Structure 1
Amino acid sequence: MNYIKKAIYGPDPAEQRRTCQSLIRQNQRQIDRQLASLQSSEAKTKQMIKASAKRNDVKSARILAKEIYGVKKQRERLHTSKAQLNSVSLQVDEAFSLQKIQGSMKTSTGVMKEVNQLVRLPELMGSMQQLSMELVKSGIIDEMVGDTLDTLDDNEMVDEDAEKEIDSILGEITNGAIGTPQPAKEKVAPKKESVTPVPQAPTTELEDEEDEDDEALLMDMRERFKALQG
């Protein structure tokens, strides 16, 4: 019977509205889960930074601080996405209310723009594609969102501003033990130590070994962060 009604009168607007709002809530819950996971990961990473600071392992602490920087960026993006979903929800309700009054559905460029942005998030790509399909069926948006998805990597090269932020993160977590620049000590030290450039040969070997260890640790941190994103 419902099939015949749909064939004659088209899809039921009330049912479409419920479906769209259900998918929006599903995306909001997904964002909440991601935010909770990020909070847990950040707390663990902070403990690891404190442990590194106690060992005076500045390089490891800095690598971990870069991970926290990436977590903060992702959290900001998720909060923005949650606000956009709330906006989409309000606009969907408004569109269906106007349809009831005017008798026809009008497309919304505002919803289209926000859905296009949300569907690119790796955390939401599946459920957002479902939502976009329902919005197309309802007539709220008039075209499908493109298949090309932008993958955002928070572990890409960091600029100078990011380096300052990482220093600030280290200083905050370690209560200034590491992460804050100390130009005074660096300027005074060369006067006493500038006369001893001899140990450069063995230092390069040690630096190579340390660089390899740091690279391995950084790779491990990146894999852990990517697993969290997935």
Structure 2
Amino acid sequence: MQAIKRAIWGPDPKEQMRTCQSLLRKNQRQLDRHIQDLMAVENKTKTLIKQAAKRNDVNSAKVLAKEMYHTRRQRMRMTRSKAQLQSIGMQMNEAFGLRKIQGTMKTSTDIMKDVNLLIKIPELTGTMQMLSSELMKAGIIDEMVTDSLEEIEEDDDVEEDAEAEISKILEEVTAGKLKSASEAPKIEMPQVSQIEPQEETAVLDDMRERLKALQS
């Protein structure tokens, strides 16, 4: 019966709205999980920095601070994405509300812009493509977002600000004990022999693998 109705009258607006809202909630849950995981990694890294500071292991503390900097940036990006999702939700509900009153649906360039931004985020690409498809079917956006979109570019001054932010993290976590530490090393990760004890190295390696998994 529902199939016959859809064939005659087109998609049910209420059903379309429920589908879009369900996809929005799914994206929000994904972001919440990623944010929580990143906070856990950040807190563990903070603990390891304090331990390195107690041993006066400056090199390890700087490497850990660099990891914490990137983890924090990732978490902030996820938080901004969550705000954009909420904006999409409010605009989408408004669009469906107007359709109910006026009987027509107008496309929204603002929703299109937010969807285009979020679909570039690896953690959301799949579900945002599904949402994009549903919003297009509903007439809220008039163009399908494709896989060919480039990833969101980082700010031009990220690298310039990185060293200053890493120094701030060291000062923040160690209460200024390593304030005079030199510039953070450019290496990706020190050899195992550079961090003592070996147990801490294993923990850090595990944390980095978890962070890579979150970013993949």
TM-score, with structure 1 as normaliser: 0.79
Distance 1:73 1:213, change over 3 A: closer
- Aligned partner letter, 2:167: D
- Aligned partner letter, 1:228: L
Please state if 1:35 is matched with 2:42. Answer: no
Distance 1:152 1:222, change over 3 A: farther
**1:65-90 deviation line (CA, Å, top 9, x unaligned):** 11111111112111111111111111
Partner of 1:85: 85
Partner of 2:173: 173
Distance 1:92 1:125, change over 3 A: same
Shift in Å, 1:146: 2.3
Q: Does the 8 Å CA contact 1:121/1:150 hold for their aligned counterparts?
A: no
Partner of 2:14: 14
Shift in Å, 1:129: 0.9
- Aligned partner letter, 1:227: A
Q: Does the 8 Å CA contact 2:58/2:181 hold for their aligned counterparts?
A: no
Please state if 1:214 is matched with 2:190. Answer: yes
**1:191-221 deviation line (CA, Å, top 9, x unaligned):** xxxxxxxxxxxxxxxxxxxx79716789946
**1:75-109 deviation line (CA, Å, top 9, x unaligned):** 21111111111111111111111111221111100
Distance 1:213 1:65, change over 3 A: closer
- Aligned partner letter, 2:141: I
For 2:93 and 2:177, the matched residues in 1 are separated by 53
- Aligned partner letter, 2:170: L
Distance 1:19 1:213, change over 3 A: closer
Partner of 2:214: 228
For 1:152 and 1:214, the matched residues in 2 are separated by 29
RMSD, matched Cα: 2.7
Q: Does the 8 Å CA contact 1:67/1:225 hold for their aligned counterparts?
A: no
Partner of 2:198: none
For 2:149 and 2:13, the matched residues in 1 are separated by 30
Distance 1:225 1:140, change over 3 A: same
Shift in Å, 1:159: 2.3
- Aligned partner letter, 2:6: K
The aligned length equals: 200
Shift in Å, 1:177: 1.2
Q: Does the 8 Å CA contact 1:28/1:82 hold for their aligned counterparts?
A: yes
For 1:145 and 1:215, the matched residues in 2 are separated by 43
Distance 1:11 1:27, change over 3 A: same
Q: How do residues 13-162 of structure 1 correspond to structure 2 at under 5 angstroms?
A: 13-151=13-151, 159-162=159-162
Q: Percent of aligned positions with the same letter in both sequences?
A: 57
For 1:122 and 1:212, the matched residues in 2 are separated by 22
For 1:30 and 1:212, the matched residues in 2 are separated by 28
Distance 1:50 1:182, change over 3 A: closer
Q: Does the 8 Å CA contact 2:27/2:124 hold for their aligned counterparts?
A: yes
- Aligned partner letter, 1:229: Q
Shift in Å, 1:63: 1.1
Higher alpha-carbon Rg: 1
Shift in Å, 1:153: 9.4
